[in-house]
Amino acid sequence: MCPIPIIRSRLLLCVPNRYPLTANRFHLFNKHLPPLGPRPTHLTMKFLPAFFLSVLTTFAAEGPKQSIEKLDPALDALLDSSAKIETLATGFTWAEGPVWYKGRIVFSDVPNNTAYQWIEGDAMASIFLKPSGTDEASANQGSNGLTVDNLGNMLLCQHGTRRIARLGGDGKFQVLAAKNQDGARFNSPNDLCVAKDGSVFFTDPPYGVPKGEKTETPYHGVYKLSTDGKVTLVTKEVQWPNGIALSLDQKSLYLAISDNKNTRVALCGLDGSGLRDVFVAAKLKSKERQGGCDGMKLDVNGNIWTSGPGGILIITPEGKHLGSILCGQPTANLAWGDDGHTLYITSKDRLLRVKTKVKGAGF
């Protein structure tokens, strides 16, 4: 018996009567299929559309199961538990680092050294930057975390060149930082955020170190890049720091830690002092809820929205888990866009969208 994917591919080519294909001409498009035999009769074609839709329904049912999980009534003020989770685009290898930029959502496909854009009304995402993590075409990984500075310029964490860069008006990358306070190259800057004074804070785990290159630091740093170009080490006490966000009062840093054995959200001062855990997400991991704490953002009330096991976790500043946006597969990052009530999510191979009641910080 032919598996459903093969049945679907046949139907896609047979249903439209205005584009008839003989068995032999169809066979050229799929050499792995046996000959189809006689061309379908009028009666067969009459019932194919209904069968075709049932097959598509089967495929949709087999996709990632998505839902809103409410764990506390306080979630109602932030997110409607019946909110629709929309899939806007698919087909990426590992979608990451979304940012709202000049009326569009831009995000990285890290392994493919490409950044994509999606604009309202588009049927699919289109290339925004290629390469996104190197100056020239390269097999190295591309950009990861993206953000916008206080002047509206796009900033990028670039794995392939192991640096923090700014996208210039001419489309070329301007290097902001490539070495740490000791003159050693960064591992592979992962995610970043911008303070009101223009300082940039970023994490530097070794996930994207290019093949054949070695790390030059014995730790996974969290750094501050001042407006004068000076790089200072915030902390080296965290292994696998990933997402990063400033508290609303700009006095603390939230860190999403993607340690496979103890994924969690932590908090420290801008100088790394007072490091402590806010929420341990490792306890949520299961076969059905994969992934870890990766990208994060805050809403205007100071709540933490972080990727974690199962999708996006919504956590109070005190560490109470209010609920989750379950994406059905490992999820990397998120960013608000539009008027601040639209949350965009990069979840493995796809870009998702969900409307929120609360605005994202900065809107």
What residues are paired with 148 via a beta bridge? 154
Mean pLDDT of 142-161: 98
**331-355 residue pLDDT tens:** 999 999 999 999 999 999 999 999 9
SS3 labels along 151-187: CCCEEEEECCCCEEEEECCCCCEEEEECECCCCCECC
- State whether residue 57 is helix, strand or coil: helix
Q: Both tokens of residue 56? A: 């598509």
pLDDT at 55: 36
Q: Inform me whether the pLDDT recorded for 328 exceeds 60.
A: yes
Q: Map out the domains of the chain as residue ranges.
A: 69-355
- Per the CB < 8 A criterion, the answer to whether 196 and 242 are in contact is no
Question: What confidence category does residue 70 fall into, taking pLDDT thresholds of 50, 70 and 90?
Answer: very high
User: What is the number of other CB atoms lying within 10 angstroms of the CB of residue 242?
Assistant: 28
**Percent of the chain residues topping a pLDDT of 90:** 82
Calculate the average pLDDT of the chain: 87
Which CATH number is 69-355 given?
Answer: 2.120.10.30
Mean pLDDT of 203-232: 97
pLDDT at 36: 36
**153-182 residue pLDDT tens:** 999 999 999 999 999 999 999 999 999 999
The closest alpha carbon to 146, from 323, 286, 344, 314, belongs to 344
| Residue 40 identity | P
pLDDT at 62: 55
Q: Inform me whether the pLDDT recorded for 23 exceeds 60.
A: no
Question: Look-up: residue for tokens 């400033």?
Answer: 246
Question: What confidence category does residue 21 fall into, taking pLDDT thresholds of 50, 70 and 90?
Answer: very low
pTM assigned to the model: 0.83
